[in-house]
Amino acid sequence: MKFFALFIIAALISSSGFKKFVWFLSLGYGFSMAAIGAALLVMHWGAADAASVALCLLLVVYGVRLGSYLVYRELNNANYNKVLNAAGGSAAYPLPMLVVIWLTCALLYACEASPVLWRLQAGVGVDALGVIGAAIAICGIALEAAADLQKNAAKKVNPHRFVDTGLYSFVRCPNYLGEVLTWTGMLVSGLGAMQTPWQWAAALFGWVGIVYVMFGGARRLEIRQNKNYGADPEYQAYVRRVPIILPFVPLYSVEKYTWLRG
């Protein structure tokens, strides 16, 4: 039951959310993925093909990069901490709700990484889907990291203005686009290895779940930006011109989609 082991790893690390609610979805998320990638390497040490090893390492790189960035932002970004404080601490939520959120997050994280587990267990070797999936994931990780760096740089110059330069001139949430690409790559890597309905269900739950969370995050950001910059004519022109998350797709707003709660 290697999948169960991944779930337990994610549950142990994301349990940090009991101290601060947002850590279920932030620090717990990033460091869970890093630990899952490392665990997969250990579980299949000496038997994994080069593509699968690369995918495991990408999980580690992704998780360490994201977790470290979030730690840095909490320690150095006063505006970000205001947003976190507005969300309330874990003590503001009933314990049963916290447990459900914790276990759901842990399951989601294990499912996101499951395509890599399935290809390792199937022993498919270096195949086209593994190489293509790894390439897509690399692009996603690089895009997300670059978007975070560009936003930090822009906010240092003008902390009270929305960011519309660099990658943000193509989509308004390039970091979320990078996240979607990363997990699309992981899903693609396992398409040739999944053999049972359970494996397909786990992989698709992970991919659909994280895409839902990213669009929900884009909606929250849009609402917050509309509140902060809605009276600015430049901002209004920006949101009418630049898609919110998918380049070349004329989707400019998701605020009205109240079912997006990610």
Q: What is the pLDDT of residues 30-52, one digit of tens each?
A: 999 999 999 999 999 988 899 99
The size of the chain, in residues, is: 262
Q: Is 162 inside any structural domain? A: yes
Whether 261 is in a domain gets the answer: no
Q: Would you tell me how many other CB atoms lie within 10 Å of the CB of residue 156? A: 8
In the block, tokens 């989609």 appear at 257
Looking at the domain assignment, is residue 251 inside a domain? no
Task: Express each pLDDT in 190-230 by its tens digit.
Answer: 999 999 999 999 999 999 999 999 999 999 999 999 999 98
pTM for the model: 0.93
Tracing tokens 């430049």 back to the chain, one arrives at 234
User: Quick check: is 223 in a domain?
Assistant: yes
Residue 86 pLDDT: 55
Number of domains, the chain: 1
d(CA 102, CA 85): 19
> Please, which residues have CB within 8 angstroms of residue 42's CB and are 6 or more apart in sequence?
none
**Residue scoring higher pLDDT (177 or 84):** 177
> Which structural domain, as residue segments, surrounds residue 106?
2-241
Cα Dmax for the chain: 59
Mean pLDDT over residues 133-162, rounded?
95
Q: Is residue 254 part of a domain?
A: no
CA distance 213 to 249: 19
Within a domain: residue 97? yes
**Distance, CA of 4 to CA of 10 (rounded, Å):** 10
The predicted pLDDT at position 260 comes to 87
- Calpha distance 160→218 (Å, rounded): 19
DSSP 67: H
Q: Are 43 and 120 a contacting pair, CB within 8 Å?
A: yes
Please report whether residue 247 resides in a domain.
Answer: no
The helix (run of H) or strand (run of E) holding residue 19 is none
**Residue 79 is assigned to a structural domain of this protein:** yes
